[in-house]
Amino acid sequence: MNIAQIEEAAKRGLPFSLKVADGDRFDVPHPDYISFPPQESQKRTYVIVYNDHGYASVLPLLTITSLTFQVGAGT
């Protein structure tokens, strides 16, 4: 998975999930729940996903195995 694919998903504004290699899933219900390193950074190798409890998870791109839009989102 590359960062451009995840950024494009966030720009669409539809809820999606990121699945990582260990099987964990991180839901991104709205673009406010994800952040990216600055574009000027040479090391854009991770994304940060937030949850409703205020916790953040740093997800290395190499561990993200899939991006799935949630069924029924936007309908």
């574009």: which residue's tokens? 39
Considering the four listed CATH numbers 1.10.260.40, 3.30.565.10, 2.30.30.100, 3.40.1710.10, the one that applies to the domain covering 3-69 is 2.30.30.100
Whole-model pTM?
A: 0.88
Each of the 75 residues of the chain gets a pLDDT tens digit; together they read 899 999 999 999 999 999 999 999 999 999 999 999 998 878 899 999 999 998 999 999 999 999 999 877 554
Check: CB of residue 24 under 8 Å from CB of residue 34: no
d(C-alpha 6, C-alpha 16), whole Å = 10
